[in-house]
Structure 1
Amino acid sequence: MTIRFYDMEKHTLTKMTIMSLSFFFLLASSRAISSKMGVNFGRLGNNLPSPKRSVELLQIMKAGRVKLYDANDEILKLLSTTKIEVTIMVANDEITQMAKNQEVADKWVHDHILNHYPQTMIRYVLVGNEVLSYTSTDQDMQTMKDLVPAMTRLRASLKTLGINNIKVGTPLAMDILESSFPPSSGTFKTEILPEIVPLLNFLSGTKSLFFLDVYPYFSWADNPTGINLDYALFEGNQTYTDPGSGLTYTNLLDQMLDSVFFAMAKLGHNEVMMAIAETGWPHEGDKTQHGSSKENAATYNRNLIKKMTMVPPKGTPAQPGVVIPTFIFSLYDENEKSGPGFERHWGLLNPNGSRCYEVDLSGKAYKTSY
């Protein structure tokens, strides 16, 4: 693994400092969260099974959670007959109006939550998708500013109704970091601090989670000669010791997660728990997209499930013993997604409902030691 230069004086945290972080808060909070595996249910395809069949397939696959990219009424009704925990989303283009008007937030909650809850086990509402990654237009910048106010209004709507077990969050991408390697150097980009600081204050105050889209595949694909493939796939015996923290890592995912943890800690919020909104590995791609294969996808997702369903929970080197709710991307291959070939081949299932490769979402098949 290639070692990158960084400012030791600015970013180094000693091992003693790490041990003094508030693990007790994290551990106490994580006990209330299950280690069930989740799946992202995207629908950007013109050849996908019906919502009814999709919910049946989620049950057959023993999914413990599902994340929708909207709040589809039909799917939410179908999920009411299951024990699957549900995450729904507010679209990016709904954020500004919701931030301006409490009645907009109240109506959203009435239409998309009250019509289904508690029969449908809605557990999280995620406001927007990777909002802090979009900065090219004036509206993008306005949406960034409106993110936390919209989340605050949604939370107020839920609180007024006495609903306290549905948490409000937002999924962010790894490009929110200015520095991510080694993990102890993790820092947020300066230009998004006006949004990150109030976001962390909100998550801390409501005991919600920091949702992250984290893809070791992309980090490995950007630097295949510097990062060992087995290290990205949770395979082999390679380790990396962070010179700043003294913590030893056995896989790339833990490094990426802890880089965000250290970035939060530097802003005084090491108590905020994390969740993985998206992660996965493509099982097919264009000729130039090396590493996108069924074998690698199966290896990554099986090892991910093994790690995230461990009892007691494994956590990460900087967050040991902590449950990290995780959603695999994605349920289906989606043929209407744009971009390179691999964008259409992240599914656990083919469009006809057959498995792209075998995985056990319950984790029971992977109960050997990790």
Structure 2
Amino acid sequence: MMFVFFDMKNHKVTKMAFVFLSFFCLIGFSRAVVSNRMGISYGRLGNNLPTPARSIELLQTLNAGRVKLYDADHEVLNHLSGKPIDVAITVANDEISGIAANQHLADQWVYEHIIAHYPNTRIRYVLVGNEVLSTISTAQDLQIARDLVPAMRRIRNTIKAQGIKNIKVTTPLAMDMMETMFPPSNASFRTEIHDLMLPLLKYINGTKSYIFLDIYPYLAWSESQRDNQTAINLDYALLKSGINQTYTDPNSGFVYNDLLDQMLDSVVYAMAKLGYNDVLLAIAETGWPHAGDANEFGANKENAAEYNNNLIKKMSTVPAVGTPARPGEVIPTFIFSMFDENQKYGPATERHWGLLNPDGSPVYQVNITGQGAPSD
């Protein structure tokens, strides 16, 4: 993938861009009020992590407004009861096909994992699967991908039947769903998932839910370094808005101050090409690793602190900033992650995204509220 940036700071916004901007401004003003409190992803693939009770205490100490769980664990949900924290729970990938084929299984899942805890635990999102469209090379994976929307529909039907109206049903997708991302106006989804994206976008849009994205400027930046391409500026990837680098989309005329906005708007344009201009954005995962292998450049505490603190300021600003294609839109955001997870496989960066050490001390200074200076 080629990452090319143009210095077009003084480029006049085209007529096409004006039309897009006007359209998206109308969308932004029509949105219901959505909280911009930051969220944190709470993964538990580690053998040295605090207990769920202690972890939820730490979550409150961080002043997180949201938490994303990679399961729907009863102990964790019990400890979240009565806490002013919005919760996202997850249906495992291997449960999707069964739920899609059997409404009784969907009912059972909802009763066990939602009704048993709601409303004392503020469940607000049900994430069906995790990065389901990233792997469709085997017959089983493809079947799970095809069963995704039917499973979402069954779960939502059960939730609605209980009279619950404030829980959104969706699924998190990784950015490997994109064929091209740069410039954003030329972005598109991978051809082989078009037939899967269409019903998914139709359902998400029709239920006024969000498309949840696992989106990592670090990965795009590191790929540009590793492949000896036209390298992405580090400050631009770290969200140092307006420092050393801006990028103007040659087709839309939109000026970008950071890589995250570029990546988000690439999804906006890709969805628009499939006929869906109005699907809401949310970030299920984003962050920056604080350590890595010797060849994983840029993975250090300084960069991690820079990225996450800039992210928090950006996403918690009132009124919301949005992106060039979605100005003023609140984008619910979860930082990955609360702890390092030492049982993950792969390069060292996979195990070093945490904000907190196992003893609860900060890995580096971060301020989840975005107010005042970062502190530990």
TM-score bracket, normalised by the shorter chain, equals over 0.9
Q: Does the aligned pair in 2 maintain the 1:281–1:296 contact within 8 Å?
A: yes
What amino acid is aligned across from residue 232 of structure 1 in structure 2?
A
Corresponding residue of 1:227: 232
- Deviation (angstroms), 1:70: 0.2
SS at match of 1:148: helix
- Deviation (angstroms), 1:136: 2.5
Corresponding residue of 2:273: 266
SS at match of 2:23: coil
SS at match of 2:372: helix
Distance in 1, matches of 2:55 and 2:79, equals: 10
Corresponding residue of 2:88: 87
Corresponding residue of 1:27: 29
- Deviation (angstroms), 1:194: 1.2
Corresponding residue of 1:164: 165
- C-alpha distance 227-13 of structure 1, shift in aligned 2 (>3 A): farther
The count of residues paired between Structure 1 and Structure 2 equals: 360
Distance in 1, matches of 2:134 and 2:46, equals: 24
Distance in 2, matches of 1:178 and 1:311, equals: 34
Q: Does the aligned pair in 1 maintain the 2:322–2:328 contact within 8 Å?
A: yes
- Deviation (angstroms), 1:13: 9.3
Distance in 2, matches of 1:52 and 1:28, equals: 39
Per-residue CA deviations over 1:97-149 (Å, capped at 9, x if unaligned) read 00001111111000000000000000000000000011221110000100000
What amino acid is aligned across from residue 317 of structure 1 in structure 2?
P
Corresponding residue of 1:151: 152
Distance in 2, matches of 1:67 and 1:124, equals: 9
Q: Does the aligned pair in 2 maintain the 1:26–1:271 contact within 8 Å?
A: no
What amino acid is aligned across from residue 141 of structure 2 in structure 1?
D
What amino acid is aligned across from residue 25 of structure 1 in structure 2?
I
Comparing 16-25 with 38-47, greater Cα deviation is found at 16-25
- Deviation (angstroms), 1:188: 1.2
What amino acid is aligned across from residue 180 of structure 1 in structure 2?
M
- Deviation (angstroms), 1:178: 1.3
Corresponding residue of 1:8: none
TM-score when normalising by structure 1: 0.94
Corresponding residue of 2:18: 16
Alignment of 1:203-282 (within 5 A): 203-224=204-225, 226-235=231-240, 236-282=243-289
Alignment of 1:43-192 (within 5 A): 43-192=44-193
SS at match of 1:223: helix
Distance in 2, matches of 1:330 and 1:27, equals: 31
Per-residue CA deviations over 1:192-242 (Å, capped at 9, x if unaligned) read 111111111111111000100000000000113510000000122410000
Distance in 2, matches of 1:179 and 1:354, equals: 40
Q: Which runs of 5+ in 1 are unaligned?
A: 6-11
Corresponding residue of 1:309: 316
- Deviation (angstroms), 1:157: 0.5
SS at match of 1:178: strand
Comparing 214-223 with 134-143, greater Cα deviation is found at 134-143
- C-alpha distance 34-335 of structure 1, shift in aligned 2 (>3 A): same
Distance in 1, matches of 2:112 and 2:172, equals: 22
Let me know the Cα RMSD of the aligned residues. 1.7
2:291 is the counterpart of 1:284: yes
Q: Does the aligned pair in 2 maintain the 1:13–1:184 contact within 8 Å?
A: no
Distance in 2, matches of 1:131 and 1:97, equals: 15
TM-score when normalising by structure 2: 0.93
Distance in 1, matches of 2:24 and 2:310, equals: 28
Per-residue CA deviations over 1:326-345 (Å, capped at 9, x if unaligned) read 00000001110110011110
Distance in 1, matches of 2:116 and 2:30, equals: 32
Q: Does the aligned pair in 2 maintain the 1:302–1:366 contact within 8 Å?
A: no
Distance in 2, matches of 1:71 and 1:126, equals: 10
Identity %: 59
The 4+ residue runs of structure 1 with deviation greater than 2 A are 1-5, 19-29
Q: Does the aligned pair in 1 maintain the 2:24–2:326 contact within 8 Å?
A: no
What amino acid is aligned across from residue 122 of structure 1 in structure 2?
I
Per-residue CA deviations over 1:11-51 (Å, capped at 9, x if unaligned) read x992134135354234332x421000000000000000000
- Deviation (angstroms), 1:266: 1.4
Q: Does the aligned pair in 1 maintain the 2:81–2:120 contact within 8 Å?
A: yes
Distance in 2, matches of 1:245 and 1:228, equals: 21
Corresponding residue of 1:199: 200
- Deviation (angstroms), 1:3: 2.2
What amino acid is aligned across from residue 311 of structure 1 in structure 2?
V
Per-residue CA deviations over 1:336-367 (Å, capped at 9, x if unaligned) read 01100111100001122110011111111269
What amino acid is aligned across from residue 46 of structure 2 in structure 1?
G
Distance in 1, matches of 2:299 and 2:267, equals: 26
Comparing 149-158 with 223-232, greater Cα deviation is found at 223-232
Distance in 1, matches of 2:173 and 2:199, equals: 14
Distance in 1, matches of 2:109 and 2:338, equals: 26
Distance in 2, matches of 1:282 and 1:172, equals: 20
Q: Does the aligned pair in 1 maintain the 2:24–2:325 contact within 8 Å?
A: no
Distance in 1, matches of 2:280 and 2:54, equals: 34
Q: Does the aligned pair in 1 maintain the 2:28–2:327 contact within 8 Å?
A: no
- C-alpha distance 265-335 of structure 1, shift in aligned 2 (>3 A): same
